[in-house]
């Protein structure tokens, strides 16, 4: 809003490259090569903090590197130590109730969250599988300040399951088997319905009330 522009991140996994673009004219504002020394960079995201915008990177390899935080000029301003598991997905969540910013990661075998300000590990979201957790959505039902509402972490996994966790306790609330093949990106339509991309070349529409697939879209030629 300060510069009256929209920004876009693009990533290149194999050469660990992040580029920042001005959406209005597709000018490349920043090129960050060799973000990691080894492995792949599968995900990056923006983070807003104290009216500044930062870019967060990930790393997927054996004994992954820390999460790196860059400003929009490409300066590395901090690093956040993780448990060194491969990170396939990274995003942020601002909890209005606690006034805290969290980093969310999808890892090999689990999902994790970290406190951005203190750099501390917050919670692990685990259900005894060793598959990749490729996509995560935080659904905050606290908009009405109802004490009975909880913050939900919804995630997809290569084992074909959608899992829903209590974000603040790490306990699993629901688990739905929706595909015999892997699931990757997910998109929340509303509080009742979720889209999930599957290895069977379909996008599945899932009813979150009972975990049933109510529609499949077969338009893709590949997974």
Do the beta carbons of residue 106 and residue 155 sit within 8 Å? yes
The span from the CA of 110 to the CA of 132, in Å, is: 8
Do the beta carbons of residue 14 and residue 34 sit within 8 Å? no
pLDDT confidence band for 131 (50 / 70 / 90): confident
Q: What is the pLDDT of residue 116?
A: 96
pLDDT confidence band for 145 (50 / 70 / 90): low
- pLDDT of 28 above 80: yes
Do the beta carbons of residue 131 and residue 157 sit within 8 Å? yes
Q: What is the pLDDT of residue 127?
A: 92
Q: Among residues 21, 28, 172, which one has the least CA distance to residue 111?
A: 172
Q: Among residues 54, 112, 104, which one has the least CA distance to residue 83?
A: 112
Which two three-digit tokens encode residue 184? Answer: 């990757």
The span from the CA of 137 to the CA of 56, in Å, is: 17
Q: What is the pLDDT of residue 62?
A: 87
Which two three-digit tokens encode residue 143? Answer: 């908009």
| CB-count burial class (<10 Å; 0-12, 13-18, 19+) for 198 | buried
Q: What is the pTM of this model?
A: 0.91
């Amino acid at each position: 809003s300060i510069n009256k522009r929209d920004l876009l991140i693009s990533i290149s996994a194999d050469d660990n490259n992040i580029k920042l673009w001005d959406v209005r004219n597709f000018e490349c504002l920043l090129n960050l090569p060799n973000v990691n020394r080894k492995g792949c960079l599968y995900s990056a995201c923006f983070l807003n903090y104290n009216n500044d915008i930062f870019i967060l990177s990930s790393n997927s390899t054996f004994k992954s590197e820390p999460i790196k935080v860059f400003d929009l000029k490409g300066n590395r301003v901090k690093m956040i130590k993780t448990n060194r598991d491969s990170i396939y997905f990274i995003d942020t969540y601002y909890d209005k109730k606690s006034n805290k910013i969290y980093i969310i990661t999808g890892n090999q075998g689990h999902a994790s969250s970290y406190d951005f300000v203190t750099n501390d590990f917050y919670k692990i979201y685990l259900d005894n599988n060793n598959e990749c957790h490729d996509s995560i959505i935080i659904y905050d039902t606290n908009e009405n300040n109802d004490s009975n509402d909880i913050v939900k972490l919804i995630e997809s996994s290569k084992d074909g399951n959608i899992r829903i966790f209590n974000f603040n306790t790490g306990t699993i609330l629901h688990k739905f088997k929706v595909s015999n093949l892997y699931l990757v990106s997910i998109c929340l339509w509303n509080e009742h319905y979720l889209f999930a991309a599957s290895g069977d070349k379909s996008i599945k529409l899932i009813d979150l009330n009972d975990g049933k697939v109510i529609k499949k879209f077969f338009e893709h030629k590949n997974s």
